Amino acid sequence: MAQPWTLDRGARLHSDGSVRFSVWAPQLTAPRVRICTGPARGDYEMTSVDDEPGVFAVTVSNVGDGAEYVFSDGERTLPDPVSRSQPHGVHGPSCVVDPTRHEWTDIWWRGVPMEELVIYELHVGTFTPEGTFDAIIPRLSELKALGVTAIELMPVAQFSGDRNWGYDGVDLYAPHASYGGPAGLTALVSAAHEAGLGVILDVVYNHVGPEGNHLDAFGPYFTEKYRTPWGRAFNYDGADSDEVRRFVIDNALYWVTEYHIDGLRLDAVHGIFDFGALSVLQELASAVHDQAAHLDRTFVVIAESDLNDPRLLRAVTEHGFGLDGQWSDDFHHAVHAALTGERNGFYADFGSVSAIAESLREPFVFEGQHSRFRRRRHGASSVGIPRCRFVVAIQSHDHIGNRATGDRLAAILPPDKRRLAAALLLLSPYVPMLFMGEEYGETSPFQYFIDHGDPSLVAAVRAGRLGEFAAFEWKDAVPDAADPATFERSKIDWSLAALPEHAQTLALYRDLLALRRDEPMLRPDGARIIVANDDPGWITLLREPAYDFTRPGTYAGDMILSLFNCSDQPIDIPTSGAGNRSWSLRFSSDASAYGGDDRVASYVDALPVDDGPRRLLAATKQQTIRLPAWSAALYLSQ
């Protein structure tokens, strides 16, 4: 195994206060570093580094932590491409950061493996009124009590202005200044680990933002061979691409090493173009797994992909890329289209209850079939890949924010359908992800917002959003992304959780997550999954424990039967596929504790006890179980 990694590019502070400045800058002539603050203030000539083409370096004494600096070629001053901090924004000087200044107390922390993940996605700027890393910390205990095991931060790399989703970041190593910068992020990660929560960071390696991007001045970071929907693609396979690949792989290693981050969510890897023999995705995953092993920690790499490509998850020995997980949007699209009735855009490929059933059988509904939306065949089979490798959601920043008005399910679905959607998510055999506020039925929209200083960029964003929504034929006016009111509307309102209807939603999520925790077979890969039957209106999801070969005809534990009525009428759902067993009701989305009518309980000959997830009603051997419209129930065998 190679030696543990350390960050060599940028400003590396030594124990004596000196700093080695290093930059890959083949485009600069006679590069210099200018120290802007402190006793070492002045310009220093950089010299080329042997055996590292295009790399220049210099060591300057008496610089110290917190000193500001820029690189210069005599005509321009430029921030460091590997800046750890940009306290004055994307155009200002970079800042030396001592990565040892924070005293970590999480030596006992080992991370969260995929099979134990319950992810809570949040946007730092809109999660609290303050919009900072520090302001998240008091909420961590609530998330832990909810049943979450890891928070996922939308991108925090320095972007232009103070308001942005984060996908316009340009200084990939610098936690955003208005969020709290490096000190704020280290404090948040430390507090999360103390609370027993992992931290996953959303990172963007397919493009950088349009404002404040100074990488072109240093070297050929980008290529004209490929285009992404968001800007120029990184140069991962062309001439001089070795240092570009190092730039992003170092970035991944930096988060796991200096910030103790537990995982990365790689944004839109279908926008990462690399036709070399060794994929940059494979190289990145291998590098961070090796570093995690050195640190004796678990680290996960999760991809967002629009390709339904199982190669991302297959082992390198199976000609795959070796990533740990990926988002599977087919589940979301199937549930959303069936419950909302929407058929525009990519929802044109979904809408039937059988599509939900297919997404429960296999995460990729499209595994080579023709897609109406794409007008071509789409996807490949995911058969054989463990279910803990797939992350599913019914809401996320993409699914909400890329709607015309950013409306959440709480604004477009009645309570019974929302309860059913939550049950489908949390009783699915995959890794569930919640979006901030979902657990109590947040009604504020999550809209797209920016704070660019260039008026031409603002105009381009406005036009681009309108074009993006053309396929959906939405009639609503698209909010102005540059208007500060759009950002303010997108902040979640924590006071809602105390109101009766929202408290019922919160109870539903807590109980479902407790049920997943208490019943091992409900965890990903915890049992064999059989979708016993599905008709136009309902789904029967059966979980079987392992067969006990020492006792013919028996299984090593109970069976779990999940029933979903995805129609507007009560349905008698047959249990014949589950054998001649007695069943006890363990959960009903129609329980009064969640805002329902307790009709499921009334359909069995028993008196209800408490409404928590551990309740057991009298056993029934009915050949059918009646469910009210838009509801879910879970039964245990006896």
Task: Kindly report, residue by residue over 312-335, the tens digit of the pLDDT.
Answer: 999 999 999 999 999 999 999 999
> Is residue 371 in some structural domain?
no
Task: Please tell me whether residues 149 and 287 are part of one structural domain.
Answer: yes
Looking at the structure, tell me whether residues 527 and 507 fall in a common domain: no
Residue 605's pLDDT band, with cuts at 50, 70 and 90, is very low
For residues 208 and 73, what is the distance between their CA atoms, to the nearest angstrom?
A: 23
Q: What is the pTM of this model?
A: 0.94
For residues 505 and 557, membership in a common domain is answered with: no
User: For residue 632, what is the domain's CATH number?
Assistant: 2.60.40.1180
pLDDT of residue 286: 97
CATH of the domain at 67: 2.60.40.10
Q: What is the mean pLDDT of residues 525-548?
A: 78
- The verdict on 544 and 501 lying in the same domain is no
82 and 18 belong to one structural domain: yes
Same domain, 539 and 596: yes
For 55, the domain range is 10-95
CB 37 within 8 A of CB 94: no
Number of domains into which the chain is organized = 3
Q: Can you tell me the distance from the alpha carbon of 146 to that of 514, in angstroms, rounded to the nearest whole number?
A: 8
Please tell me the predicted confidence (pLDDT) of residue 404: 87
Lookup: tokens for 147: 């049943």
Residue type present at position 321 = F
Q: What is the pLDDT of residue 611?
A: 38
Residue 461's pLDDT is 83
Residue 77 forms part of a structural domain: yes
The mean predicted confidence, pLDDT, of the chain is 91
Same domain as 548, residue 448: no
**CATH number of the structural domain spanning residue 134:** 3.20.20.80
584 pLDDT tier (thresholds 50, 70, 90): confident
Q: What is the per-residue DSSP string for 85-128?
A: --TT-TTS-EE---TTSS----TT-----GGG--EEEE-HHHHS
Same domain assignment for residues 284 and 225:
yes
52-102 tens-digit pLDDT: 999 999 999 999 999 999 999 988 999 999 999 999 999 999 999 999 999
576, part of any domain: yes
Q: Are residues 188 and 288 in the same domain?
A: yes
Where does 427-493 have alpha helices with state H? 455-468, 484-489
Q: 88 and 146: one domain?
A: no
In this prediction, residue 443 has a pLDDT band, given cuts at 50, 70 and 90, of very high
Task: Provide the token pair at 304.
Answer: 């967002």
Distance CA 544, CA 260 (A): 38
d(CA 382, CA 310): 6
Q: How many other C-beta atoms can be found within 10 angstroms of the C-beta atom of residue 16?
A: 9
Query: pLDDT band at residue 548, thresholds of 50, 70 and 90?
Result: low
Q: Is residue 201 domain-resident? A: yes
φ, ψ at 251 (rounded to 5°): -60, -45
**At residue 553, does pLDDT exceed 60?**
no
Q: How many CA atoms lie within 13 A of 214 on its CB side?
A: 25
Please tell me whether residues 534 and 621 are part of one structural domain.
Answer: yes
559 lies in some domain: yes
Of the residues 479, 512, 545, the one at which a domain ends: 512
DSSP strands (E only) in 317-426: 325-327, 370-371, 376-377, 390-393
Q: 28 CB contacts (<8 Å, ≥6 apart)?
A: 56, 71, 73, 217, 218
Judged against a pLDDT cut of 80, whether residue 469 lies above it is answered with no
**Is residue 336 a part of any domain in this protein?**
no
Answer with the one of 512, 541, 572 that is the final residue of a domain: 512
361 in a domain, yes or no?
no
What confidence score (pLDDT) does residue 173 get? 98
Residues 6+ apart with CB under 8 A from 569: 537, 629
Instruction: Report how far residue 428's alpha carbon sits from residue 357's, in angstroms, rounded to the nearest whole number.
Output: 10
- Phi, psi (5° rounding) for residue 574? -70, 145
Same domain, 79 and 16: yes
Which residues belong to the active site?
267, 304
State the pLDDT at residue 604.
55
Judge contact between 133 and 184, C-beta under 8 A: yes
User: Which region among 72-81, 202-211, 546-555, 582-591 has the lowest average model confidence (pLDDT)?
Assistant: 546-555
pLDDT (0 to 100) of residue 603: 64
What percentage of residues in the chain have a pLDDT greater than 90? 80
- Whole-number pLDDT of residue 527: 78
Which pLDDT score is estimated for 613? 36
Given 512, 537, 568, which residue is the final one in a domain? 512
> Is 382 contained in some domain?
no
